[in-house]
Amino acid sequence: MIIFTSPAVIIISALIIILDIAKEFTDGILGKILAVVNICLHISLIFPLMLVKAPIAEAVLVYMCSTFVYTASYLLFSVVFSKEAERGGER
C-alpha cells in the first residue's frame, strides 16, 4: 500500500479521523470550526495522495475510512446520549 509510505498522508488521515470523533464531543461554534477544518483537511489530502501517485482504490479507501469513522461515531454518540436523555426523562 503506497499510502503508508508517505508521512504526510498518514498524518493528515489521522487528523481527519481524530477530528471526526472530536466533533461529536463538542457543540456550538467549536463543533462548526472542527467541521470546517476537517473539510479543509479532506481537500488538502488530495495533494499528498497525488504526490505519492497512490492508486485511486487506495485514495478512495482513505476517504471511505473517514466516512466510516464519522458515521460510526455519530451513531454511537446519538444512541448513547439518547438513552441517557431517556433515563433522565424517567427520573
Q: Domain-by-domain residue ranges, the chain? A: 7-90
> pLDDT digits over 19-55, tens only?
999 998 888 899 999 999 999 999 999 999 999 999 9
- Output the CA–CA distances (angstroms, integers) from residue 49 to 17, 29, 41, 69, 90, in the order listed: 17, 31, 12, 20, 51
CA distance 70 to 18: 10
Average pLDDT, the chain: 90
pLDDT of residue 27: 84
- Please determine, for residue 86, whether its predicted confidence score (pLDDT) is greater than 90: no
Q: Tell me how many degrees the CA angle 72-15-61 measures, rounded to the nearest 5.
A: 60
User: Whole-prediction pTM value?
Assistant: 0.83
Amino acid letter, residue 54: A
Q: What is the mean pLDDT of residues 3-15?
A: 94
Amino acid letter, residue 55: P
How many residues make up the chain in this entry?
91
Percentage of the residues of the chain whose pLDDT score is greater than 90: 74
